[in-house]
Amino acid sequence: MTNGWIDIKNTDMMLIEGGNPAENHPCGFKWAIEAKRNRNAKMIVVDPRFTRTAAVADLHLQIRTGTDIAFLGGLVRFAIENSRIAKDYLVNYTNAAFIIRDGFKLPDDGLYSGFDPATQTYDKSTWNYAEGGDMSGKAGGGTAVPHAGSHGQDAHAAVPPALPENVAYDLTLQHPRCVFQLLRQQYSRYTPEMVEKITGIPQDQFHKAADLFTSIRKDGDTKKVGTIIYSVGWTQHSSGTQTIRTAAILQLLLGNVGRAGGGVNALRGHANIQGATDMAGVFDLLPGYLKVPNPNDTSLDAYLKRITPKPSKPGPWQSMNYWGNTPKFAVSFLRAMFGPAASKENDWAFDYLPKVDRNYSWIQIWDNMYRGSVKGLFAFGMNGVMIGPDSKKNIEALKKADWLVVGEIYPDETSEFWKSPGITPEEMKGIQTTVYRLPCAGFAEKDGSFTNSARWLQWKNAALPPPGDCRLDQAIVAQIFLKVRELYQKEGGKFPDPILKLAWPYGDPHNPSLSEVAKEINGKALADVTDPATKLVTKAGQQLPSFAWLRDDGSTSCGNWIYSGSWTEAGPQLARRGTEDPSGLGIYPNWAWSWPVNRRVLYNRASCDVEGKPWDPSRRQVWWNESVQKWTGHDVPDFKPDSNPKEHLGPFIMNPEGVGRLFMPIGAVADGPFPEHYEPIESPVANLLHPNQSNNPVVEKLKTPLDKYGTVAEGFNIICTTYRLTEHYHYWTKNNPANVELVPEPFVEVPAELADEVGIRGGEKVKVTSARGEIIAKAMVTRRIKPMMIDGKKTYQIGIPIHWGYRGIAEDEGRTAHTPTNLLSPTVVDPNAFTPEFKGFLVKLERV
């Protein structure tokens, strides 16, 4: 979330799409209800179903799953055509005025410039700003675009294209190649007629929603604010990242980012996956969103040069380009990893880090295990068989592994893959995988911190010891690691150095205390460090006050730079419990600690106009204080604290441009600088914008015999989406009698009209089949999903909750068919986030 849970109460307008927060985040959703109760705020819900969230919304539109870019693109068009935009914000805080290179092409035929069909990738060199300067009012016939800097890019393929330092721009936004005009052109195709044909949302309803959402900018109003709230209903598509980008574009157009009650708010689905992303629980990151090194990074310098951006902006503007500090974060991380073994002489042990040459994401693990190259798997609290996609493939993959180590608190499907339904005793004998199932500690038995969706780090305390012979997770991993280290010490082996030299400075090495680890993550001074501005000193051995103290000379160590400030000399900031909220905006600055530097709303400089005055004085967060020549306020300014507004320093300090990106230049995304509607990989219709390029062109399909994709021609004529219920939590509460009581059995939500066609009555068993597998569950016949007209053709959607598998209370009692929902889902992922397309695929539905 750019903002936070409580901040939702400050909004005037909510667009909730790709998420069902009443279902999945009830306690956070209270702040949406508060906005309605206290501000008469309006709520628009766009979802394939009439959900629990829709039940309390002011307007619900039923959308065909996977067509959100078409809907949002329609909103972008509506906002521009009706001048429901924040003009000053747009010109000054986004790249609307930036001029794009000649040679860049919009995807009228479904492809941007630079596509190579052989590799299914783009050459992104035209996706860039033109070098130049002020072109305001010099638009002419659209030919006066300077080409400086664009030459020769293609000839040096190994050198990635870079952003120009001095960007060409037109503050009148009239230049035909300025971002704003290209944006207008791009979404001019997303007419209400087209939106209706693609999404199934009738034009009058679309108009109602568009008019309502953009009404906050009616007649030039800049005080009101709207928020967009989404979740994995957007992420879990083959164009998930671009859907979220469209929302960001809309919010930038309306000037809603950085403001109380605004923002683009991702509701993360789990207690600590925000933290897991921050801490690089994913293959392509190191802690604090540092990019992983690749084989071309032949030295630390080469690596840092590649990942450290340079400012790119109109000449008179300023850009803080905070990522310019990357070397400090990276060297401090290496010092935390390898301690004294990381020295200037050995490039801070840069070669101890594995160099990542390709995609190692979730579905690749299973694909390569199935192909035989992944021999062993650790699964700690991660039920990969249930999660899928294509559970069957994951089971088949595990059969080929040498070993599997599961750390769990309940018996789960992954640890028992070898006795999953359908495996005969004979076949079981042939499964050679050794499986260890280690009993872990539950949440109440562990301390440590979770990071919530609002980026708050909160320390929790252990309430009781783990039962039986269970061990703490950190003890188990420490003991396995120390055993491996011992083996390499005794016997040698492949490149043992990083294992032998990993810093392991914990009081009890076999059971590290998490408070020690938290302090290591925050970082400390290894030598006395002086702040050049204030002359304050952090002495060697002391905890660092914040990441502003990090150095690239080895004098600081820090496990994760964005968490620096969470556990300082003043103690654990992440355990604070102050309940004061002086602004009344729900900031609670003394409760826990949020990254970065306890800032609650990101980009909050943009909550003020160019002069530094809040757009809405009744919701002021930070502002420029002329008398003290400083930014001040209720929140921590997301800005250089003493930057006078006259300097025109951009409010989006993490971007090299200093402004928000309507146009995403060069390498940031794989599939286009503007979002374009592409059909889900399995879709009942061809793309109505460009039938010859229906799907996202850079999305790859996997190629083992198990990776099958269905079509309408093969009889898979119904759209299926999957989701959670508020009564259950993923694959966990099926072990909990209370939650099993609330919803005891798996079911399939079927539109009443479809049920009539197929001859199904509520409560009867149905079979749902995809190209990959089939499941059996009872039908819930409902009017909450209606048939849709897609390009004039009657189309049905059904929905299936994901919670049941082959181990659980109901499962063990024989009350279910033992068919995990993800037997159905396809092995295809978004090309940017590598998240599978769980939310839209094709099935057939039959009576059992």
Partner 1 sequence: MSQATLRVQKISGHAGPIPGEGMQREDQVCKLVDTTTCIGCKACEIACQEWNDLPFAQTTFDNTYQTMPTTQWNFWNLIKFNEQPKEDGTMMWLMRKDQCMHCADPGCLAACPSDGAIVQYTNGIVDFQQDRCIGCGYCITGCPFNIPKFNPTTKKVYKCTLCSDRVSQGLEPACIKACPTGCLHFGTKDDMKDLAEKRARQLREHYGFENAGVYDPPGVGGTGVIYVLHDATNPEAYGGLPANPSIPWAVRLWKTPLRWLGNLAMLGGLVGVTLHYLRFGPKTVHNGESEKRS
Partner 2 sequence: MAPTRRDFLKLSTAGGVAASILGFDLAPAYAEMRALKIARASETRSTCPYCSVSCGVIIYTQGDGAKNVTPFVVHVEGDPDHPINRGTLCPKGSSLQQDILNERRLLKPQVRRPGSDRWDDIAWDDAINEIGRWVKKSRDATFVEKDAQGHTVNRCEGIAWTGGCTDTNEFNYLVVKTMRSMGLCYIENQARV
- Cβ neighbors of 573 (< 8 A, separation 6 or more) are 565, 566, 567, 592, 593, 598
User: Which does residue 745 touch among partner 2, partner 1, none (CB within 5 to 8 A, set by kind)?
Assistant: partner 1
761 binds partner 1 (CB under 8 A): yes
Q: Which listed residue (38, 83, 343, 432) binds partner 2 by CB under 8 A? A: 432
Residue from 11, 17, 29, 390 that binds partner 1 (CB under 8 A)? 29
User: Which of 76, 130, 248, 267 lies at the binding interface for partner 2 (CB under 8 A)?
Assistant: 267
Q: Tokens 């600081």 correspond to what residue? A: 556
- Scanning residues 477 to 516, which ones bind partner 2 (CB under 8 A)? 477-481, 483-484, 486-488, 491, 493-495, 498-499, 502-503, 512, 514
Residue 578 CA to residue 397 CA, distance in Å, equals: 49
Our CB check for partner 2 shows the closer of 751 and 836 to be: 836
Alpha-carbon distance values, 816 to 386, 425, 809, 847 (Å):
15, 22, 10, 16
d(C-alpha 819, C-alpha 453), whole Å: 31
5 counts as binding partner 2 under rule CB under 8 A: yes
User: Of the two residues 437 and 630, which places its CB atom closer to partner 2 in the complex?
Assistant: 437
Q: How far is the CB of 592 from partner 2 (least distance, A)?
A: 9
Q: Which two tokens stand for residue 744?
A: 């005891």
How far, in Å, CA of 260 to CA of 583, rounded?
11
420 in contact with partner 2 (CB under 8 A): no
Place of tokens 């007629």: 193
Cα–Cα distance for residue pair 528/262, rounded to 1 Å: 42
833 contacts which partner out of partner 1, partner 2, none, CB within 5 to 8 A by kind?
partner 2
Q: How far is the CB of 792 from partner 1 (least distance, A)?
A: 19
Would you give the DSSP letter of residue 701? P
Tell me which of partner 2, partner 1, none is bound by residue 763, counting a contact when its beta carbon lies within the kind-specific cut-off of 5 to 8 angstroms. partner 1
729 sits near partner 2 (criterion: CB under 8 A)? yes
Half-sphere exposure of 448 (CA within 13 A, CB side): 19
Decide: is 704 part of the binding site for partner 2 (CB under 8 A). Answer: no
What angle, 0 to 180 degrees and rounded to 10, lies between the N-to-C axes of helices 203-214 and 68-81?
Answer: 60
Query: Side-chain half-sphere of 709: how many Cα atoms within 13 Å?
Result: 16
Site for partner 1 in 227-286 (CB under 8 A): none
CA distance 778 to 742: 16
> Residue 169 is encoded by which pair of tokens?
């721009």
DSSP 563: G
Report the distance separating Cα 294 and Cα 355, nearest Å. Answer: 5
55 binds, among partner 2, partner 1, none (CB under 5 to 8 A by kind): partner 1
Place of tokens 């979404």: 187
**Taking CB under 8 A as the rule, does residue 37 contact partner 1?**
yes
27 binds partner 1 (CB under 8 A): yes
| Options 118, 570, 783, 814; binder of partner 1; rule CB under 8 A | 783
- Window of 94-102, 241-249, 458-466, 734-742 that interacts with partner 1 by CB under 8 A: 734-742
> In angstroms, what CA-CA distances link 594 with 148, 327, 569, 570, 740?
42, 23, 17, 16, 35
| Footprint (CB under 8 A) of partner 1, residues 621-680 | none
**Does residue 34 bind partner 1 (CB under 8 A)?**
yes
If the CB atoms of residues 58 and 396 are measured against partner 1, the closer one turns out to be 58
Between CA 249 and CA 245 the distance in angstroms is 6
Strand partners for 847: 766
50-109 residues near partner 1, rule: CB under 8 A? 50, 52-56, 58, 60
User: Taking the complex as a whole, how short is the minimal distance between the CB of residue 286 and partner 2, in angstroms?
Assistant: 7
Structure tokens at 621: 């967060």
Which range binds partner 2 by CB under 8 A, 111-119, 132-140, 412-420, 550-558?
412-420
Site string for partner 1, 168-207 (x = CB under 8 A): ----------------------------------------
Q: Name the amino acid, one letter, at 652.
A: F
Determine, following the binding rule CB under 8 A, whether residue 757 of this chain makes contact with partner 1. no
Q: Which residue number, 665 or 836, has a Cβ lying nearer to partner 2?
A: 836
CA distance 661 to 638: 17
Which spans of this chain sit near partner 1 (rule: CB under 8 A)?
A: 22-23, 26-27, 29-30, 33-34, 36-37, 40, 50, 52-56, 58, 60, 726-727, 737-745, 747, 752, 755, 761-763, 778-784
